[in-house]
Amino acid sequence: MTSKRPNPKLKNFFLTLVAGIVFFPSALLAQNAGAWIETDPVLDLSTPPAADSVFVPHWSGRITAGYFSEGGGQQGSGFFLDGTKHLTRDGSFFTVGAQGGTQQLEGSLSAWEGLTFSAGVGLDGWTPYFSFGAQKGDMNFNAMTVNVGANIPLAPQFTSQLFLMGIVTSHTGPFASLIGTGDPSAEVDELNADIGFSFVLGIDSQLSLIGGFQEDMNQTVKFQSLDHTVAQTPDLMDNLAIFKLGFDLSFWTHWVVEIAGQGGWDSMPAGSFYSDRLGQTLTLANASTPSFLGGSADLRYQF
């Protein structure tokens, strides 16, 4: 009697389901979980089709589940689904995506979800792109993200990505005392700008080194009452310098695990402001610049 070999498609589906079961509920149940919102187009080492081959526009996709933590600060879990239409041999594309997860807002667990769209134009090896994302969630959380940048090959198996990102966010929390209203809740509005670069360096067919640096400039623009009749405008800036280094490891055919560490400095102002790194509103008597460390782990299925 001959035994049946397992169906590869059924196996891949089962493994994807397991990844979702393992990672996503942990985001919903963790008491101090947080979230991060990804809007950058995929940065990889895929080789463009040869000039003498026939190019056919096609779709690819990826499912990502992951966890992120900064020592003493924000933590996060999320689930991301993206589909990319490859339009030309030179790398023109557009991507649509759906996201969900949790984030730490004012020290408590808060769920969020969102949609993203990205598009890029392949120009003889490098690819300028534009991305837009919209998110909403618990505690009246709202965010809009605009990201412009470019994927730039530097050498064989060595690619970089430059980016400039603007983010507008708002949420409610128990800090109405800052504006002197009787209502226990108030709204905080932020205007953030991030600039930086990332890279991926292929070591062999399965292992890649990843890293990067970015400067986050997070401005607390306004605290205001829920009816927007009473407001305080601190206009304080909380700046972060962040370094990242890690690796991507491919296994089987479609699976990639990414492990990365990060660290940096947080230039925190004196006064009342919202700290994205800590996920809560703070009032400091004196400015300070603490250092921080963190890490992330992602499991990705590419198809």
Tens digit of each residue's pLDDT (9 = 90 or more) over 9-43: 444 443 433 333 233 332 222 222 233 444 455 55
Structure pTM?
Answer: 0.81
Tens digit of each residue's pLDDT (9 = 90 or more) over 174-184: 888 888 887 88
Q: Which CATH number describes the domain made up of 8-302? A: 2.40.160.40
> Alpha-carbon distance 277 to 292, whole Å?
9
C-alpha 88: how far from chain center: 27
What is the bridge-based pairing of β-strands 255-267 and 291-302? antiparallel
pLDDT grade, residue 235 (50/70/90)? confident
Q: For the chain, which residues make up each domain, given as ranges?
A: 8-302
Only one residue has tokens 């940048």, namely: 149
81-93: string of b/e by CB count within 10 Å (b at 16+)?
ebebebbebebbb
Return the pLDDT at 52.
Answer: 62
